[in-house]
Structure 1
Amino acid sequence: MEKTFVLDTNVLLHDPMAINAFHEHRVVIPMTVLEELDHIKDRRDKDVSREARIAINAIDKLLANATPKQIQDGVEIPTTREDAKPGLLAIFPDQIITHDNAAPYLDGSTQQANDNRIINVALHLQSHRPENYVCLVTKDINMRLKAKGSGLENVEDYRRDRVLDDIQYMAKGYDHISGSFWDKVDTVETLREGSQTIHVINRSCLPKAHINQFIQDDSGFVGMVRSLDEEKIELLDLPPELLMHQSMWGLQPRNMEQAMAFFLISRPEIDLSVLTGPAGSGKTLIALAYGLHAILEQRRFDKLIVARSTPPIAEDIGFLPGTEEEKMAPWLAAFDDNLEVLHGTDESPFGSIEYVKDKANIQFKSLNFMRGRSFNNAYIVIDEAQGLTQFQLKSIITRVGSNSKIVVLGNLAQIDNKYINPLTSGLTYLVEKSKYFPHAGIMHVNGIERSRLAAFAEENL
């Protein structure tokens, strides 16, 4: 059966290369989608406009040398899979659709939403090709409901960006073993490397383990996967009292998850750290404390760059007065709050904070203006990453230069992007893809340490 997928605009904005995701099948882009991309490519929102331009260029690259008839019939999409039939990309001129046949069209007039005209394309193809599988692909929930209510048999969300079927299976960076871990181990070889104790066990004891993952049990054992292959796993023995007595810039962990995050983020071989967890769990405070420690005490980096995405259009930072750092202040106030926590007991807290900002060369940046740059000898913190797409996070991480470390923070319970959910967030994608990279570390920080009220709100409201 030939399958035809009609793409909505938000699919191409979410993944500008989505036309390559449907393999040997037929991909149809309604003319209305091209018109929407044309309007979006000039928006002030740098992220969305950039992705619109990338999508337009990808479409143009495939169709540039085709005739009008070929474009409407379908042009081959090159494939890298061996022995795979190439797919087809077609543009459908939805302005030719009329209401003079039996298809249950929605009102496609200019006074109505563009969504109606895109749905009408799928209804038209379903009516004229009843033997084929015709499916509308959109990330808009209400549009999916409208399409189904109009009689469209097949409507789907865009699923290529899903790396998990259920968010509960996302890697947390640690595995808690009930009872005693050693009761489940048949053979072990224990080695000493200086002050470190290494346990070598069979891979079958922890078949799902990944590099830099912590193992914790009820009897007090804590270990970290230092290396692994198909047969063996090396566990670095980490006494709990050693982890709980770590200190960075005067900050000490309050629970074991924070202690493991402390240890992970401070390891020199880790270039990428991803800290997830609820609000108030200490993610930002840990990231900031280590940054100040590494720059001012260890002299590992030259600067601390703090960045997050800013709301578009009406709240664009270009409308605010001052330098880029001053424009970013309203959205990065959380870092000032954490600096106050670290220096709140100083004799002159305000003076200490200003001194630290200057000496550590702390720079506040908008993610909208980080692309195209390269950051060397820098410690970079990306805050509120849960609202970023996979494409956006990739474009940011590829900016990291030599002798730099990047820490990505996020809370999947606070996504404010209407086209992103915990399963499709770039943060989830980053966690699942980086857990096998030897120079990446993941930690889900549990426990609300902000206040008892914050803990109550997180759990009950």
Structure 2
Amino acid sequence: MPKKAALDTKIYVLDTNILLHEPLAFLSFKENDVVVPMTVLEELDYIKDSKKDVARDARISIRAMEDLLHDATPEQMVEGVTMRGLGAGDTAPTGNLSIFVDHGLPVDKHVFTSNENDNRIINSALHLQTQFAPRQVVLVTKDINMRLKAKGAGLALVEDYRTDQMVSDIKFLSKGYHKFSGEFWSQVKSVDSRTEGRDTIHTIERKVLPDAYINEYLIDEDGKFAGIVESISENHLEVLDLGFERLMGRRAWGITPKNIAQAMSLHSLLDPHIDLVILTGPAGSGKTLLALAAALEMVVEKNMYDKIIVTRSTPEIAESIGFLPGTEEEKMAPWLAAITDSLEVLHKHDENVKGSMSYIMEKANIQFKSVNFMRGRSIQNAIVILDESQNLTASQLKTIITRCGEGTKLICSGNLAQIDSNYLSAVTSGLTYLVEKFKNFSGSATINLDGVVRSRLAEFAEEQL
């Protein structure tokens, strides 16, 4: 380890799950030094050859560290190799990266009852804390139990990795709309309205809603006003008047909204100028049904797009998909039952439901694709429905979004209360990251559907369980 005289920089010891969550995380600690214990490298080595969905992240992290350390001597790797020059801006790293050989360290039998990997990583941090006192040593891990064990073992500083977290709690996550208490117009002191064709646009003072962002919906408790922020200047907001009743009267493929959140979602889904629609909310709020109904309306009825591509994250898909019979689409069918269920609901009154579904799937050119095979594609003039996106990381979502070519609309839906991945939480999910990052992008809209409309049973379960 580099023996720096300055005590204002820290030594960060990284756990394996940090590098699986964000492969280049070791570059995120600015002027501080980063230590990767040998046990972490061994765990990465084991995971990179596994069939787990994080194997790719393990390989990326290993390659990135090898690129930095490949010319270093064994002594330099232990002492530390500078990361200066690997980034730009204020967040560029200037500290050192070193590998710490932790296998020879004696493990205190009074503290740890076994020599398992987590204990060895904690033991490394304890050793460095003693060796470099009074310089601060921080263990960074996403494992809550490991943080408790480290504190109990005597490690002064233990942290979660928060560099990539856009919000500290999902209660602060953007909902995509702002509800005014009382009547909207009673809170507007001055307004300048104009008509453009069939549209009415109101110019109001920005102080009415200082934190407004593009494509944020504005509604009031009285159910008399509904609008959307079209543009923002230093002192003013331009709000397109949607009309509460007109918004609630929107239809797509025979579906009408059951509440104002669904109405706002349908408006964004049917708007050809919005390229990305993000739908969040609890199970049964209508995310998948609305997305599919809008997609069918725009592909079959209006001929605005050529096809519908449906994909989703599937836990342990690398292990399980190969054992299922049939083509890629047939293999994906069990994972995408939510889509076929929604399609069945949309045609439940037809004389021959199965025949209608087969006809529509062919007419709309609905394709079921695995997220694993989206990489490298370029999707043109299509609607992509990404279901269950709460289980994806930010980098995985970036891979999918960057596949979308000219004329393609992406619909991401997910429930942050139902994350299946062992490496993600509600605040670190790629869906949370996406909502906050695209908040100010004029080509995207976010709606949080907060009402369960599936059934009174589902509504009660969502509220009480």
Residues 1:17 and 2:24 are matched in the alignment: yes
Q: Partner of 2:362 in structure 1?
A: 358
| 2:200 equivalent in structure 1 | 197
How many Å separate the matches in 1 of 2:67 and 2:390? 32
2:15 corresponds in structure 1 to: 8
Pairing 1:106–2:112 present: yes
Query: 2:28, 2:92 within 8 Å by CA — same for their partners in 1?
Result: no
Normalised by the size of structure 1, how large is the TM-score?
Answer: 0.95
Partners of 1:293 and 1:282 in 2: CA distance? 16
The 5 A counterparts of 1:43-54 are 43-45=50-52, 47-54=53-60
What residue in structure 1 maps to residue 315 of structure 2?
Answer: 311
Once residues 426 and 60 of structure 2 are traced to their aligned partners in structure 1, the CA distance between those partners, rounded to angstroms, is 25
Checking the alignment, whether the CA contact within 8 Å between 2:51 and 2:318 is kept in structure 1 is: no
Q: CA deviation at 1:391?
A: 1.6
Q: The residue matched to 1:94 in structure 2 has which SS?
A: coil
Q: CA deviation at 1:84?
A: 7.3
Q: Decide whether the 8 Å contact of 2:308 with 2:364 is kept in 1.
A: yes
Distance 1:202 1:139, change over 3 A: same
Q: CA deviation at 1:218?
A: 2.5
Partner of 1:268: 272
The CA distance in 2 between the partners of 1:343 and 1:85, in whole Å, is: 56
Q: Which amino acid aligns with 1:60?
A: E
Q: Match for 1:410 among 399, 410, 414? A: 414
* Cα displacement (A) at 1:446: 2.0
| Whole-angstrom distance in 1 between the partners of 2:278 and 2:229 | 17
Cα deviation, residue 67, structure 1: 1.5
Aligned pair partner of 1:232 in 220, 231, 236: 236
Give the direction of change, closer, same or farther, for the CA distance of 1:200–1:314 in structure 2 (3 Å limit): closer
1:185 counterpart (175, 188, 205): 188
Unpaired stretches in structure 1, ≥5 consecutive residues: none
Q: Distance in 1 between matches of 2:117 and 2:106?
A: 15
Partner of 1:301: 305
- 2:49 aligned with 1:56, yes or no? no
2:42 maps to what in 1?
A: 35
Residue deviations 1:286-309 (CA, integer Å, cap 9, x gap): 100111111111112221111111
Gaps of 5+ in 2: 1-6
Cα distance change of structure 1 residues 104 and 22 upon mapping to structure 2, 3 Å threshold: farther
User: Do the aligned residues in 2 keep the contact of 1:105 with 1:120 (CA within 8 Å)?
Assistant: no
Question: Could you tell me how far apart the structure 2 residues matched to 1:23 and 1:349 are?
Answer: 59
Query: Does structure 1 conserve the Cα–Cα contact (< 8 Å) formed by 2:29 and 2:93?
Result: no
Question: 2: distance between equivalents of 1:83 and 1:152?
Answer: 27
SS in 1 for 2:333: helix
What is the deviation of 1:450? Answer: 0.6
What is the distance in 1 between the residues matched to 2:220 and 2:415?
Answer: 26
Cα distance in 2, alignment partners of residues 360 and 93 from structure 1: 58
Aligned counterpart, 1:132: 135
For residue 89 of structure 1, what is the aligned residue in structure 2? 97
> Equivalent residue for 1:425?
429
Q: Match for 2:126: what amino acid?
A: L
The 2-side partners of 1:429 and 1:230 are apart by: 26
Provide the TM-score with structure 2 as the length reference. 0.94
Q: Secondary structure at the match of 1:284?
A: helix
Seen in structure 2, the aligned counterparts of structure 1 residues 218 and 98 have a Cα distance that, compared at 3 Å, is closer
Q: CA deviation at 1:75?
A: 1.0
Using a 3 Å threshold, how does the CA distance of structure 1 residues 224 and 83 change in structure 2: closer, same or farther? closer
Conserved? CA contact 2:27–2:92, under 8 Å: no
**CA distance in structure 1 between the aligned counterparts of 2:432 and 2:55, rounded to whole angstroms:** 24
Distance in 1, matches of 2:459 and 2:90, equals: 53
Contact 1:104 1:150 (C-alpha < 8 Å) held by counterparts: no
Deviation at 1:105, TM superposition (A): 6.2
- Give the conservation status (yes or no) of the 8 Å contact 1:106–1:120: no
Q: Give the direction of change, closer, same or farther, for the CA distance of 1:418–1:192 in structure 2 (3 Å limit).
A: same
Tell me if the contact between 1:310 and 1:368 (Cα under 8 Å) persists in the aligned partners.
no
Taking the aligned partners of 2:19 and 2:332, their CA distance within structure 1 comes to: 29
Q: 2:341 aligns with which of 318, 323, 337?
A: 337
Give the match's secondary structure for 1:216.
Answer: strand
Most deviating of 84-93 and 23-32: 84-93
